[in-house]
Structure 1
Amino acid sequence: MEVSFLIQIVIGLIVVLAILMFFFFSSRSKAKKAKHAAEQNEEKVDLQALLAIIKNNKSTSSELKEALDLVLKHYGEIDNLKVYIDMLYIICLHPNTNKNIIIGFNKELVKLNPKYKLEINGAITDGLNSRGV
C-alpha cells in the first residue's frame, strides 16, 4: 500500500511539473512574439515631440538619451541645420546632461553627416562654452 501511494504521488508531481513547464515556455514564447511585433510596428516619432523632451529641463538623463537616440535613428541625416544646431545648444545647456550624452550624440551625428562636421563641432564648442563652467 505504501508503494502504490508513493507511485501516485510521483505521478501527480510529474503531471504538475509538466503543466508548470507548459505555462513557463508558452509565456516566454508569447513575450518574445510581442517584443518582435513591437519592434516591427515601431512608428516614426515626431521630431517636434522629441525636441519637446529635449527642451524640457525636467527630463532625466535617461529620457534625454532615449530622445536623442530616437532623433539619430529617425532623423539622423540633417535636412535643416539650424534645428540641429539649436538642439546641440539645448543639449549642452540641459541641467541633466552629461559628457557621455553630449559626446555620443556628437559622434553619431558627425558619422551620419560628415559634411557638417565643422558646424556640429562648432555648435558643441559654443554650447559648452556658454555653460560657464
Structure 2
Amino acid sequence: MDIVLLLKSIAGLVAILGILLLLYFYVWKSNKETKKKPVTKTTRVEVKHDFASLLKIIKDKKSTAKDLGEALDLLIKYHGVIPKKLGLRVHPDFEIYSEILLRLCRHKNANKDIVVKFDRELEKLNPEYKREINDSLTKGLNSRGI
C-alpha cells in the first residue's frame, strides 16, 4: 500500500506541475502580446527653458543643427543677459557663455549661420562684453580641427 500511495502522490504532483506550467506559459504569452504595442515615434521633443537643459542640448554631440538653433534661440531669449562686469573683470557667469561659444564652435553639427547668429545676438544684448565674446569665439574657431 505504500507503493500505491507513493505512485498516486507522484502522479498528483506531476498533474499540478503540468497545470502550473500551462498557466505560466499562458500568462507569459499574454504579457508578450501586450508589450508588442506599436511604438509611435515622436519627432518633436519638448524643450525646457531652464539653463541646464539648454546647456545639455548644446553639449550633446548628437544634437542636430535644428536642435542647436532652437536651444540657442531659447538661451538668448531667456538667459541672454550676462551680469554686469565687476570693474575691469568679467563676471564669473561669463565663463559659462564662453564655454558655450567654445562648444558651439567645436560641435560637428554647428554651421556658420548658427554661430554667427548666436555671436551677434549675444553681443547685442551685452555690448560691454563684446571684446570678451570675440575672444571666446576666436578661441573656439581656432580650436577646431581642419
Take 2:49 and 2:112, find their aligned partners in 1: how far apart are those partners? 25
Seq. identity, %: 51
Mapped pair 1:87 → 2:91: no
Higher helix share: 1
Q: Please give the TM-score of this superposition, normalised by the length of structure 2.
A: 0.60
CA distance in 1, matches of 2:131, 2:73: 21
Shift, 1:106, TM fit: 0.2
Residue aligning to 2:76: 72
Tell me the C-alpha RMSD between the 2 structures: 1.4
Which whole-Å CA distance do the structure 1 matches of 2:60 and 2:80 have between them?
21
TM-score (norm 1): 0.66
- The residue correspondences of 1:1-133 to structure 2 (distance < 5 A) are 45-79=49-83, 80-133=93-146
The residue identity in structure 1 corresponding to 2:112 is K
SS at match of 1:57: coil
Deviation at residue 114 of structure 1 after TM alignment = 0.2
Runs of 5+ in structure 1 lacking a partner?
Answer: 1-43
Q: Please list every run of at least 4 consecutive aligned residues from structure 1 whose deviation after the TM superposition is greater than 4 angstroms.
A: none
Q: Looking at CA atoms only, which structure, 1 or 2, has the larger radius of gyration?
A: 2
| Number of residue-to-residue matches in the alignment | 91
Is there any run of 5+ residues in structure 2 with no aligned partner, and where? Answer: 1-47, 84-92
